[in-house]
Structure 1
C-alpha cells in the first residue's frame, strides 16, 4: 500500500507541477493573461505541498526520484495537451528515467 500511495502522490505532484508550469507558459508566452499565471503559481505551490506527503522522509531522495517522473510526465502532458508526438528516443529516455525512479524509491535498503 505504501508503494501505491507513493506512486499516486508522484502522479498528483506531476499533474500540479507540469500543469502549473504550463499555465504560467500559457499566461506569459501565449498572452492569456495574469489569471493564468496566478493559477499556475498556485498549482506550483500545491506541488510543493504534495511532495511533503511522500512516505519517505528524505527530501533529496524524493526530489531526485520525482525528476524521473517529471521527465515522463512532461512528455505525456505534451502528447495529451499539445499534440506532441515523442520519438523512440524520447520514449526510451523516459523509460530510463522511470527505471531510475524505481531504483531510487523502491529498491530494498538496509538501515
Structure 2
C-alpha cells in the first residue's frame, strides 16, 4: 500500500510540474494572457509542496522523480500536443521507470 501511495504522490507532483510548466510555456511562447503564467507559477510551487509528502529523503525522491517525469512528459506530449512517442521513447521511459523502482522501493539494510 505504501508503494501505491508513493506512486500517487509522484503522479500528483508530475501533474503539478508539467501542468504548471505548460501554462507558463503557453504564456511566454504562445502569447496567452498573463494569468496563464501566474496560475502556472502557483501550480509549479505546489509541485514543491507535493514532493515533500514522500517519506524517503530529499535526494532519493528527486532522483526517482526524474524517471517519473520522463514518462509523464512523454504522455503529456502525446495526449496534449499530439506528439507520438516512438519505440525508443517508450524503451527509454520504461528504463527510467525501472530506475525509479530500484531507487525508491528496493529493500535496504
Question: What is the TM-score of this pair, normalised by structure 1?
Answer: 0.96
CA distance in 2, matches of 1:75, 1:33: 26
CA distance in 2, matches of 1:63, 1:104: 10
Instruction: Give the paired residue count.
Output: 109
Q: Which segments of structure 1 move beyond 2 Å, counting only runs of 4 or more? A: none
CA distance in 1, matches of 2:91, 2:2: 27
CA distance in 2, matches of 1:34, 1:67: 29
State the match for 1:71 in structure 2. 70
The superposition leaves residues 65-101 of structure 1 with CA deviations (integer Å, 9 ceiling, x where unpaired) of 0000000100000111111100111001111100000
CA distance in 2, matches of 1:36, 1:60: 31
The superposition leaves residues 39-70 of structure 1 with CA deviations (integer Å, 9 ceiling, x where unpaired) of 110110000000000021x1000000000000
State the match for 2:18 in structure 1. 18
Q: How does 1:28-47 map to 2 (within 5 A)?
A: 28-47=28-47
Q: Could you say what secondary structure the match of 1:48 adopts?
A: helix
Structure 1: gaps of 5 or more residues: none
CA distance in 1, matches of 2:34, 2:97: 34
Question: What is the TM-score of this pair, normalised by structure 2?
Answer: 0.98
Structure 2: gaps of 5 or more residues: none
